[in-house]
Amino acid sequence: MNHDEFEDRLTALRPRLHRYCARMTGSAVDGEDVLQDTLVKALRARAEGGGVDNLEGWLFRIAHNASLDFLRRRSRTTVVPLTEDLEAAAIPAADIVAISFQTFLRLPELQRCAVILKDVLGHPVDEIAGIAGCSPAAAKSALQRGRAALRQLAQAPDDIRLPLISDASRQQIAAYVHLFQIGDFDAIRAMLADDVKLELVNRLKWEGRDKISPYFTRYAEETKWRFALGAVEGRPAMLVFAAGGSAERPAHFVLVDWDNGRIAAIRDFLFAPYALEAVDWVRLI
């Protein structure tokens, strides 16, 4: 497999890898960070001449370890060794996709890994064991116990409280959204920090006020989007809906970071629709 073919395979597997990382970390946004770390490590290993027999299994091992590293940095729960073999039926695909990322986060890591790989992504138990670095018996036990626990957790009532957003953060994102709504992109450019960073997730990264100016030009030329104030995983966000499309779910979302009243970073998920799967979002107005 040459370099271009290798990168094409990484691109094709990106949504599947994100489904795993997002559920392991309990966050679509953090899952994207872990996914990017995974791809960097994969490209580095490839450049160093590492041979790969099973590309997908190899990538999921890297994603698994990257997820655990992330969780341990965040002082989450540790891996719980499991040996007891309990019986539990697979969770239907339609049901499991609807379960929030935060619900998955309440499972011990090995259970979470096994359920995601088996019931979300369709990996066999032996491959799960290879990815998680455990025995097939432990993987099977984790799968059974994880299924049983996830069914119970999914039946708990949803937490519908609005996210706690400071008045200052709310005013900043509300002003940003309003300027998008009225198409005043010059006013937004005036709010940019000189070293502002833009990431079009899954597409490109730019830095600098002048460099990212075309980003706003393209939004100004496009009429198919409608913008609303909201929150994604408790973070202030601009929700972007397709004009004439469903008003029940955004097409994508944008996160904005501020520093001393200036826009320091923009993270736009336009080219990463996979990030919306089961993500916790709310429209605030």
List for the chain the helix, strand, coil content (%; round to 5). 50, 15, 30
E-assigned strand segments in 164-283: 192-200, 204-207, 225-232, 235-242, 252-259, 262-268, 281-283
| Percentage with pLDDT > 70 across the chain | 90
The pTM of the full predicted model, rounded to 2 decimals, is: 0.85
> 228 and 177 in contact (C-beta within 8 Å)?
yes
What domains can you pick out in the chain, each with its CATH number?
3-154 (1.20.140.160), 167-283 (3.10.450.50)
pLDDT of res. 160: 47
| Percentage with pLDDT > 90 across the chain | 67
For 51, phi then psi, to 5°, come to -80, 145
pLDDT of res. 85: 42
Q: Kindly report, residue by residue over 180-211, the tens digit of the pLDDT.
A: 999 999 999 999 999 999 999 999 999 999 99
Give the pLDDT band (50/70/90) at residue 79.
Answer: very low
- Whether pLDDT at 86 is above 70: no
* Amino acid at site 46: R
Give the range among 35-39, 102-106, 199-203, 229-233 with minimum mean pLDDT.
Answer: 102-106
- Whether pLDDT at 167 is above 90: no
- Whether pLDDT at 93 is above 80: no
Q: How far apart are CA 161 and CA 163, in angstroms?
A: 6
Give the pLDDT band (50/70/90) at residue 27.
Answer: very high
